[in-house]
Structure 1
């Protein structure tokens, strides 16, 4: 009898490769309007080593796919807003991202909205968020301008598609029907949007926060067009264990260094994904999980670049629409 653990680790770098051809092909198709490649500007106004690493990854990935990348370091964070506004008004800049946290409070949410909607590669603008929560996939009535999704939640969706959790035999928008997912983290940047995206695609999602556990669902038989939220009660280990017993997918994003998801809560053969910069699962995860994705970073950067290309395409479509009416 084999003593090897049955689970298999799938690296984000392997998954991200599936998007390289698509992304580089689109960059080539834009050579007539962006001969040197689209320009992404990243703003760094903190000393967070994780942000420095993310910026380095972003630059390498951009340059390997034909994009230009410029990191703008802001020594005094009080001048960041002004720098963002300058980039908004610069026609040579196609995409803008900010490495958070900056102030670490509500002021960061304000800065997210300072970035022009037309250059928001991270999909954090309130219009994009509202569309996502209401399961609206386009910005216009003609359904030509696609809305932008926040890149880390989108990366997790793409990972689930890669792992064949999505059922392509079902209509688009319902392809997680019958799946149960647990998301341990309800941050406004990743956890809550991710739970909404998965529920909007048909899954029953248990959203776990330090205070309580909520259920995101489109109702029995997917009777609603967008997800509804039900409060299941205060957080407890017993309630978490109950939510996990039939879970097909467990996704974690707890930023604490000491946090480890209990391996004995994982259903045999479940899929486990961690989007935290910390390791939320220990090595025993592979004794229960069939597939384990320890990080999502490289897929997130691929989604960010896809978002930027979508913004460039949306801008071109609007310009063409305007030209045809004049």
Structure 2
């Protein structure tokens, strides 16, 4: 029997995000078993964005499947600030997620900063963002008991690269992307820039691309720097950098955007984190692995972050997030 005309060539493996999500869910459930009661995540919805509502519903479903409690609180824009402050001091609330945009301006950034750092499952507060860019992985660098929370979508991309063994566990912790050259198409402050920074902090050479140009994120020659540095490249285009990359990650939100797959090197790994299809079916003719979406992983990472917050608050030796700290991962130093 001949293969269907639209079948992927045997050289390309299409990897669905559910496989990564299922593995992470098993680890999350191990962590929940160490707790006296289900972790309680509260979501705040203060807009009429259908995508935000869908994300909230997906979050609720995933919470319930993994033994978490989820409460969606729909509030008006004028009431969202007080609602967040109230949840900060509510002992029954373990984690807070706010569905943006609300005001779609700097006021949204203000709201991100008033979420208590001990309940910020999205890792958007200033302390977490500062530590992420400075390559500081603990809230308490001296004792190293309280690990920093990383933004969910960037971390979901990283968990997928770990699953695909792009991270080299033979190399020392913190250097496990050394030798990889990665292109990230999207430099938003929410996903693209943090992702480029995280990848570079782990040793990769990262070309960060958006409509304003291309930036190069590295830790310097031979990884001599502790944290990444950024070089703004002049007179350099996408066609100049993509053929150098063994991994290409794209997250452009526009439905009209399509990545030019003719630029890919043979055997590149391609990941799409946009809700839109950035790669056409022809990507399978060049890529060795193609991940068409990451949404399921993002939500499980949210639950992992909540377990991390609970672990950080506990003074005993029972660590509910320990189940997610597999050797070779971004979080585990062993």
> So what's the TM-score if we normalise by structure 1?
0.93
Report the structure, 1 or 2, having the larger helix content.
1
In structure 2, what is the Cα distance between the partners aligned to 1:163 and 1:239?
28
1:47-196 alignment runs, 5 A limit = 47-74=48-75, 76-140=76-140, 141-196=142-197
Contact 2:155 2:195 in 1 (8 A): yes
In structure 2, what is the Cα distance between the partners aligned to 1:146 and 1:139?
6
The structure 1 residue matched to 2:302, chosen from 283, 301, 304, is: 304
SS at match of 1:113: helix
Partner in structure 2 of residue 323 of structure 1: none
Q: Deviations over 1:79-118 (max 9, x none)?
A: 1111111111100000000111111111111111111100
1:240-279 alignment runs, 5 A limit = 240-279=238-277
Partner in structure 2 of residue 29 of structure 1: 34
1:205-224 alignment runs, 5 A limit = 205-224=206-225
Q: Deviations over 1:127-159 (max 9, x none)?
A: 111111111111112111111111110110110
1:3-22 alignment runs, 5 A limit = 4-5=8-9, 6-22=11-27
SS at match of 1:119: coil
Q: Structure 1 318/233 Cα, relative in aligned 2: closer, same or farther at 3 Å?
A: farther
Shift in Å, 1:21 = 1.8
In structure 1, what is the Cα distance between the partners aligned to 2:195 and 2:316?
29
In structure 1, the gaps of 5 or more residues are 321-326
In structure 1, what is the Cα distance between the partners aligned to 2:67 and 2:240?
48
Q: Deviations over 1:222-245 (max 9, x none)?
A: 0101000000026xxx61111101
In structure 2, the gaps of 5 or more residues are 319-334
SS at match of 1:153: helix
Shift in Å, 1:318 = 8.4
In structure 1, what is the Cα distance between the partners aligned to 2:211 and 2:246?
22
Shift in Å, 1:317 = 2.5
Q: CA RMSD in A?
A: 1.6
In structure 2, what is the Cα distance between the partners aligned to 1:155 and 1:16?
9
In structure 1, what is the Cα distance between the partners aligned to 2:300 and 2:14?
20
Contact 2:94 2:306 in 1 (8 A): yes
> So what's the TM-score if we normalise by structure 2?
0.90
In structure 2, what is the Cα distance between the partners aligned to 1:53 and 1:271?
29
In structure 1, what is the Cα distance between the partners aligned to 2:250 and 2:106?
24
In structure 1, what is the Cα distance between the partners aligned to 2:52 and 2:296?
14
Shift in Å, 1:9 = 1.2
- Equivalent residue pairs, number: 312
Contact 2:213 2:237 in 1 (8 A): no
Shift in Å, 1:274 = 1.0
